[in-house]
Every structure is written in C-alpha cells, then in structure tokens.
Amino acid sequence: MKPIASHALDSVIPVSGKSATHPIATAISSGIESSDHFVVRNGIEFAGTHLIIDLWEAEHLDDMEFMASTLHEAVDVCGATMLHLHLQHFTPNYGISGVAVLAESHISVHTWPERSFAAFDIFMCGNAKPELAIPVLKNAFKPGRINIAEQLRGVVDKP
C-alpha cells in the first residue's frame, strides 16, 4: 500500500545563517579542487563522492525535529552549505522522506520506522567530505548494522 502524505505534518525547515555564498571547507591535503568543483584525489579526477548508506536496527526514525537536527549537523561536519531542507512525514507508519539541498549537491533520507530501517543518499562535490557524515548518523540513530557503498561520480577518463 502506498503511504499517504499527511499535509498537516509537512515541514519545510528554514535555514538561517547560511547562503549559497557561505564559504565551504578549505581544500583537504589529499585533494585539489578546480573552478568547476571537480576534484583530484589519488590521481583520479571526478565530480564528487556519492555514498549510499543503509541503517538497520536504527532509532528515532519517526522524529522530524531529531532528523532535521541530525541532517544540519551532518552538513556542517562535512563542510557543506545547506540551502534548503524539506522533510515529509507519512502515515500510517510516520516514516520520513526528505532532502537537504546543498550548494555541493544533496543528502536524501527515507525511513521505515516499523522496520527500524533508514536509507541515506549523500552526494557532495568539491572539497566537502561526505564520509564525515557517517559517524554523525551512527551516533544519532544508533544502528545495529550499517551498509555503505561509495561511488565516485563523473570520473574523467584520462587519454
């Protein structure tokens, strides 16, 4: 059965204190960023890092305020810039779906509280460090098990 959106629980979280012109994290020693925000790490040039993170046996998956706070923390720790956060509660299970739109790309989340499962998708370009979100998510949601896949997006073929 398809979840029915509860418009009363719809939430757009305003972002204060940051804008698209907010400076991002300084270059990391292992990477060089170009003017198009592609990076070179370990001799590979690419657009950004995409993490697919599955949390199992996780907690707080139906708490909108907790989710918003955790996503803000993850964005800050990664050295990214939050532009907009939109979270939606669904009934009857009160799962959350949402996206944090970043100057560097996005973080999306979908939760199934009845299965203690959350799916996070984190894509960041430039010098943002999406891998730093992993300890934030572990600490916040206390999963019993976590699966992580990494994909480098936009890998430039060398002649």
Buried b (16+ CB within 10 A) or exposed e, 6-25: eeeeeeebebeeeeeeeebb
Contacting residues for 94 by C-beta, under 8 A, at least 6 apart: 62, 113
Q: Give the largest Cα separation in the chain, rounded.
A: 55
Please enumerate in sequence order all residues whose Cβ is within 8 A of that of 156, keeping only pairs 6 or more positions apart, or say none.
38, 45, 46
Q: Show the tokens assigned to 89.
A: 């509660």
Q: Which two tokens stand for residue 61?
A: 């998956």
Query: Cα-Cα-Cα-Cα dihedral of 133, 147, 64, 73, to 10°?
Result: -10
Name beta bridge partners: 28.
none
Task: Provide the annotated active-site residues.
Answer: 105, 110, 125
